[in-house]
Copies of this chain bind each other. A is one copy, B any other.
Amino acid sequence: MILIKIGGGKNINWEYIAQDIKDLKEQVIIVHGANAWMTEISQKLGLTERTIISPSGQTSRYTDNKTMDLITMVYSGLINKKIVATLQKFGLNAIGLAGVDGKLWLGKRKDVILSQEGTKIKTIRDSLTGNVISVNKKLIALLLGAGYIPVLTIPAITEKGEMINVDNDRAVALMVKDLNIKTVIMLFEAPGLLKDKDDEKLVIKTIKFDQLDKYIKNSEGRMRKKLLGMKEAFTHGLPKAYFGDGRIKSPITAALKGGGTIIS
């Protein structure tokens, strides 16, 4: 079983991904983002996207009720259904679910988030963010067993029924643990992890687990989150992860062949 994480960039080619999944003939689970569309639709609606930077340098989305509405619209609505329809077009029987559905991603809301603002540290209490603490394995098994491809995204849900924003990449890590997944492929808008983020020719071909911290330290933004997610996945027993280009033909096959970055 392969877990494929599809990044939320607009240049990711879902048709190439769908064709490749069809050719692969392996059981897959898909987790996806939708960040670029989130930004676009926020702007169209006149909403300001706010980012929280933690004292340790972690960035996260400040998620008030309006932002949560937008997350459900863009992640679990617009992009989830577009990806599902693209897979269906290629004869792949996909089912799109958010973490709220069947408590697929049960999470815990953070009571307090610390935000570094200049030299001050502020306390934020109204952000609907948290972490996934368990995965509904039975539901995934039910769908896979019936031949469906689960296509998963945020939001997650708490025991109280609150929708919360969680880091998709950390949700992937928990799925690795709970579903005993051995192969993770992260597809995004670059040919792999780059030595210099502005030079696509400088792909780092392999990373050993014990080097991960160094790369995490030197990376930022979304790539940092992906690496942190992978670090967590490795501590849960993942032997190998593949970072690859989601814009090219046969993106999964290419990544598996070492076309991008292999972490082991």
Q: Which residues of A contact B (CB under 8 A)?
A: 41, 44-46, 69, 72-78, 80-82, 84-86, 88-90, 93-98, 100-103, 138-139, 142, 146, 148, 155, 157, 160-163
Contacts and interface: CB of A to CB of B under 8 A. Distances in A.
Given A78-B72, A89-B161, A84 B96 contact: no
Given A74-B73, A88-B161, A161-B88, A81 B98 contact: yes
A82 to B, nearest CB: 7
Contacts of A44: 45-46
Contacts of A76: 76-77, 80-81
B146 A85 contact: no
A81 B100 contact: yes
Contacts of A138: 146
Contact of A72 (B77, B97, B100, B139): B77
A103 B96 contact: no
Nearest to A87: B161
Contact of A148 (B90, B96, B102, B162): B102
Contact of A93 (B85, B95, B96, B103): B103
A94 B101 CA distance: 6
A86 to B, nearest CB: 7
Given A45-B44, A89-B161, A161-B89, A101 B73 contact: no
